[in-house]
Amino acid sequence: MKTSKLLLIFGILFVVGLAIYFPGRKIARKHVNTKTAVEDHPLLCISCHLYTSKNPLVSKLINADYYSPFNMAVSKNGDRLYVVAQEANTLMVVDPESHKVLNKIKVGEYPHSVVIDDRGEKAYVSNQWSDNVSVIDLAKSKVVDTLLTGNGPAGLSLSADDKLLYIVNSFSSDVTVIDLNTGEERKRFTAGNNPTGTQLSPDGKTLYVTSRRALLAPYGDTLKSELTVIDESRQRVTERKTIESAYIMENIAFTPGGDLAIITLIRPKNLVPSIQVEQGWMMTYGIGIVEQKENGRVIQLLLDEPNAYYCDPFDIVISPDGKKAFISNSGVNCISVVDIDSVRSLIAEATPEVVKTYSNNLGISSRYVIKRIKTGADPKGLVLSPDGKRLYVAEQLEDRIGVINTETLEKINSIDLGGPRRITVARQGRRLFNNSGHTFQNQFDCYTCHPDMHEDGLVYNMASKDMGRNLTNTQSLRDIGDTPPFKWNGKNQTVYKQDGMRFSTVLTRTEQFSYNNLDAITAYIITGIHYPPNLQYNPEGKLTESQLRGKDLFERSKDNTGKIIPENNRCITCHPPPYFTNLKLASVGTLAISDDSIQFDTPHLNNIFASPPYLHDGRAATLEEIWTKYGKEDKHGLANDMTKNQLNDLVDYLKSLRAPAYEHKSSKLYHASF
Amino acid sequence: MNRNRAALSLLLIVAIGLFTIFFSSCRGKSMNGMVILTQYAGEIKKGNYFSGDSWRYISQANIVAIDPGKPEKPVKLLTGGFYSALSPDISYDAGSMLFSAQQKQNDPWQIWEMNLNNMKIKQVFSSLENCIDPAYLPGGRILFSKIDMKETMKAGHSLYTCNLDGSDLKRVTFNPHTYFASSVLKDGRVVTISRQLFPDNRDPVLMVLRPDGTKSELFYKGLEGSILQSRIRETTNGNIIFTESDSDTLSGGNLISVKYNRPLHSRVNLTSEIKGSFGPPFPLNSGKLMVSYRSPEAKTYSLYEFDPDKKSLGSVLYSNADYNVLEAVAVETHDRPKKLPSEVDFGVKSGLLFCQDINFTDPLSVSSVSVLNAGMIEVLGIDSTLGVVNVEKDGSVYLKVIADTPFRIQTIDEKGKVLNGPGGWIWLRPNERRGCVGCHEDREIVPENRLSMSVKNPPVVIPVHISKIAEKKISLE
């Protein structure tokens, strides 16, 4: 009796299970197919519902806190390495001999660079997301002062006498000079667009500041980026060198003799139809040789080879004997070693006509690149030991410092910083994001066009139908997880679709991501990319009077004459908080003749101040131009009735918009590092 | 009683399980670690690049397997049922082998696949014409050369791909060249020996193209008059190796290495100091090579180990006084090349070609013609012109060309005088979009980042006598 009852229950359960399983599986299949735009993605619920979860508890469980070493400095006698652990908001003090982490000193948010004074007493750490510099007493291993800076302090340089600190403000695009005796700001210079790297010449007279974004210009104009030259003794900008057809000039180094300065750079092909990857058709990477003499030339040389690209050059250091330059190629996990004498002889013998072709010649690198040294994931900052015998490499996504013998040019060791051993799904996603292994011949990675997971400020000819049509302004990836659909035309409903098969067909042109990797990169994009605080326009969450007036205009329902504005022509209708997008498509009257007939995905507006140019094809250089030049028919919100002051207020308000996490600090999400 | 019955049932189930495991493990014997090669008796006759005779169609050749670790073991004949068999290629999982073979003397050469676990053979693709030099492509497809005797394009062997069951046959080359001895690079592209046959015969070169036939480009050009012979092999350290001869014997030559990263300018002759003749090489996981070699004194090729770093011959791996030993391949798993996505869309009848500046010549290239100032280009077909097209002031030109049609381009000045060209044969696959920097000599030049005038307007349709190519609507990406 009992057995038969059990059997009956079991049988019912089995039948119910079958009844649920087959239709359930069918529904699940349909759901996954819709989300991924393919029909064979594994039916794995955790792909979406766990790895991309923003629930604080789940996020804490599945993620881990990494250090992510970024930049470094070394003590004068070489017995200490100072490592900026960017995601741990820490300066780590490391003994390079024993490989031990001796100290972890808490600094500000998202530290960028560190410099040590000549006496080895103080370290200065720029905190890019705090708008300040931490002053650290190295004997006490303690922050003893905090110096206020411009927005997004990044590269640092001390004057030769250690009395002045030059701070490159990457967000406000200027350079702050701080008198270290008083701690007061002495001067501020305008620099290039999104400057970061800086280096003082060996004679202590000239300071160079590199910039990452190109200067804003209409699509079709030659790309130009600024290299700012500062006379250190007078603290004046003496020259703004224009580096043509290049951008993302991350860092710079001088030869010890001071005859050359060498910058890392990227030469994009955004004006060329993106119809192929072969033959350097999308991106090339190189160095800029800045001759330090009267009428000195700036000569660009590629680091790439005809069938191999050395993506995302980041840092550069030059050996004390001036013979070798070491360049970290973050996107391909290697260090390129350049023989500087070969560069000297190459450029000495070249006519101006020939020099010009070097910058587009993939074969020329064989004359000066003498070695490619493999490193761990995402090599960033470099520093040489004082005797030049060791090169230390910050392997950002490895939580390690690689050690390279500069004579044998072999990696001889790794210093483990003690980060988590396990590689979480999102961390794997970040590694993929920063690595060009999933692009044909490693020509570019996600990070190349989305530096800092943001956007590079360029408009690309994506050649989606015909060449020369459908120009595309690169969009930021910050906090986009909750703002589907994606792409300007909103054609991709999910990140899975965005980065799936079609992505590999039209962009990377190599084998698509495996589904495990697609899950990983999606998890990272959805959960791991955050906005920096908007300290420039909204540091405290308290709007200025102008911004408040602008907010009223943004939310208004009547125009200046008191007439009701149709609901679909009010700013707030299509751009409601918290992301300031209604996630819908719209027509705003900015379709170009060269565009196919499409509507536009309503973009999110947080931190919009940091994303010029504007509109889908980048035609508006400023927010104001959206209405003054390209909104004359009032199709992009009614704005033509506004006075100039009102428009200023509206723009002020737009610039104040910031991520929801900063608006609701009490409900701040668990902020794992990735 | 019930207990006994249950125990008995359990025992029976376990026995059946063990029995199944036992027999399934005996299903076939793995050939991992073996070396498979082609052997044949006698001299190879002087070959012909057009017909492939007799270089790619060796009569009465056999594919055999040897165990290099056990030289005392007899050679295992794998293709006993065939009149002649050649060109073995091992799958990425080392579980099967493709080869080309004739069943009987006058049969056409066909593509076959052998399961290396159970030695079963199946014909992959059936054709009345010769099909040779098969190679595995990632994604369950294969690549091979096929001669089309009804061809009007004046081609020799063209490249084809199909599924492993012979379905979905696709021709992927469309110019008057002949293609032989193809293999697949790790980046997923096909590298193949290619020789122009029309309007004149040119030296063979190595071409690379995507498996769908798009983005065909020059990979390597040998010394003038040299003959490329063997299937191309990629080593684990980024080198490409093959044999090249400065004569036209087609039976052997020097072992050449070029770097994958820069193949056009990194040629190294690995065997310049060794007298004798080398046949097809094969890279081993150890970093060394297996290579066929015949000393000046020997009558036949034997299989040797070769150290490419020291450029020296090692020990003999296999030798048979009666047979030449060629095309050795190791039966071992190897990395699958990348499976490249395809932009080909057979609903589209044309491809797009953009040239940034037809007047661009690289000043580093010694053979550059003097500064050009062409205002037009002429697009030449096989038998007739396809039209003359004005070039924009910046030298750019943008064409929409009927797909799978070979053409060449020559530049013309405003007086109608031909300035340069015609260049090499090009074809565009349906929906292919392709760019070139200019009509220059050096393929290491990348485009300048500038907006070209020609792409601001619709492309010029080629042939120019038709006003429109009927296309399906392409969805916007």
Give the C-alpha separation, A253 to A197, whole Å.
9
Q: What is the pLDDT of residue A4?
A: 84
Quick check: is A515 in a domain? yes
Q: d(Cα B145, Cα B334) in Å, to the nearest integer? A: 23
DSSP for residue B66: E
pLDDT at A468: 79
- pLDDT, residue B156, reads 86
Q: Residue B171 has which token pair?
A: 């021709």
pLDDT digits (tens, 9 = 90+) for B299-354: 999 999 999 999 999 999 999 999 999 999 999 999 999 999 999 999 999 999 99
Q: Which backbone phi and psi does B23 adopt, to 5 degrees?
A: -75, -35
The reply to whether A570 falls in a domain is yes
**A366 and B435: CB-CB below 8 Å?**
no
- In the structure encoding, which two tokens stand for residue B413, read together? 């000045």
Q: Which residues contact A614 (CB under 8 A, 6 or more apart)?
A: A473, A608, A620, A621, A622, A623, A625, A626
- Minimal C-alpha gap between B34 and chain A (Å): 31
User: What one-letter code names the amino acid at A44?
Assistant: L
Choice between B152 and A125, residue whose per-residue pLDDT is larger: A125
Which residues from chain A sit within 8 angstroms of residue B264, using beta carbons? 306, 363
Note which residues in 136-155 of chain B have CB less than 8 A from chain A: 138
Q: Do A308 and B260 touch (CB under 8 A)?
A: yes
How many residues in chain A? Answer: 674
User: CA-based angle B443:A460:A471, to the nearest 5?
Assistant: 125
Token output for A455? 């956007």
As a whole number, the mean pLDDT across chain A is: 94
A597: in domain: yes
Which numeric CATH code is attached to B35-330?
2.120.10.30
pLDDT in tens, A207-256: 999 999 999 999 999 999 999 999 999 999 999 999 999 999 999 999 99
Beta bridge partners of A230: A207, A237
CB pair distance less than 8 Å for B261 and A462? no
Residue A461: phi and psi, rounded to 5, are -90, 90
Exposure of B418 in the CB half-sphere (CA atoms within 13 A): 9
Question: How many Cβ atoms from other residues are within 10 Å of residue A9's Cβ?
Answer: 10
Residue A474 lies in a domain: yes
Chain B's closest residue to A459, CA to CA, is B451
Cβ–Cβ contact B309 with A under 8 A: no
Regarding whether A652 and A589 lie in a shared domain, the answer is yes
| CB contacts, 8 Å: A357 with chain B | 362-364, 445
* pLDDT for the residue A672: 57
Cβ–Cβ below 8 Å for B455 and A361: no
- Does A616 fall in a domain? yes
The tokens for B284 are: 């081993």
**How far is Cα A497 from Cα A593, in angstroms, rounded to an integer?**
28
CATH of the domain at A477: 1.10.760
At A133, is the pLDDT very low, low, confident or very high (cuts 50, 70, 90)? very high
* Cβ of residue B455 closer than 8 Å to a chain A Cβ: yes
Residue contact A219–B451, C-beta within 8 A: yes
Q: Which two tokens stand for residue B88?
A: 């073995």
Question: What residue of B is the nearest CA neighbor of A356?
Answer: B363
CB contacts under 8 A, B 320-339 vs A, are 338-339
Judgement on whether residues A490 and A591 belong to the same structural domain of the protein: no
Q: Is A204 inside a domain boundary?
A: no
Q: Which of A143-157, A390-404, A455-469 has the lowest mean pLDDT?
A: A455-469
Is residue A590 located within the same domain as residue A514?
A: no
Cβ of B476 within 8 Å of Cβ of A512? The answer is no
Domain count, chain A: 2
Do B436 and A280 contact (CB within 8 A), yes or no? no
Nearest Cβ partner for A466 among B363, B446, B458: B458
Interface pTM, i.e. ipTM: 0.93
Determine the pLDDT at residue A667: 43
CA nearest to B212, candidates B150, B137, B123, B155: B137
Indicate the SS3 state at residue B312.
Answer: strand
Contact state of A441 with B187 under an 8 Å Cβ cutoff: yes
Tell me which residues of chain B have a pLDDT lower than 70. 1-29, 44-55, 151-153, 247-252, 362-372, 440-441, 472-477
Between chains, do B265 and A366 touch, taking CB under 8 Å as contact?
yes
Q: Which residue of B has its CA nearest to A218?
A: B451
What tens digit of pLDDT does each residue of B178-228 get? 999 999 999 999 999 999 999 998 999 999 999 999 999 999 999 888 888
User: Both A432 and A522 in a single domain?
Assistant: yes
B352: nearest CB among A272, A362, A467: A467
The set of residues, in sequence order, having a beta carbon less than 8 Å from that of B310 and lying 6+ positions away, is: none
Query: Could you say which of A308, A465, A504 has the minimum Cβ distance to residue B474?
Result: A465
The reply to whether A581 and A653 lie within a common domain is yes
pLDDT of res. A165: 98
Other beta carbons within 10 Å of A19: 10
Which residue of chain B comes nearest to A270, CA vs CA?
B449
Check whether residue A480 and residue A572 sit in a common domain.
no
Torsion angles phi and psi, residue A349, rounded to 5: -90, -10
Instruction: Please work out, in degrees rounded to the nearest 5, the angle formed at the alpha carbon of residue A118 by the alpha carbons of A114 and A120.
Output: 70
pLDDT at A595 over 90: no
Distance separating alpha carbons of residues B82 and B38, to the nearest angstrom: 13
Domain regions of chain B by residue span: 35-330, 350-462
Question: Is B261–A308 a contact, with Cβ atoms under 8 angstroms apart?
Answer: yes
Contact A275 B434 (CB under 8 A): yes
Which residues of chain A are within 8 Å of residue B355 when distances are taken between CB atoms?
Answer: none
Domain that holds residue A484: 27-62+425-527
* CA nearest to A350 within chain B: B364
Shared domain for A467 and A556, answered yes or no, is no
Q: Which has the closest alpha carbon to A80: A385, A290, A285?
A: A385
Q: How far is B18 from chain A (nearest CA, A)?
A: 30
Sign of the torsion angle spanned by Cα atoms A615, A620, A622, A626: negative
Judgement on whether residues A549 and A654 belong to the same structural domain of the protein: yes
Distances (CA, A) of A209 to A146, A263, A568, A624: 23, 10, 46, 29
Task: Indicate whether A225 belongs to any domain.
Answer: no
Packing angle, helices A644-656 and A545-555, rounded to 10? 100
Question: Does A79 fall in a domain?
Answer: no
Q: What is the CATH number of domain B350-462?
A: 2.60.40.1120
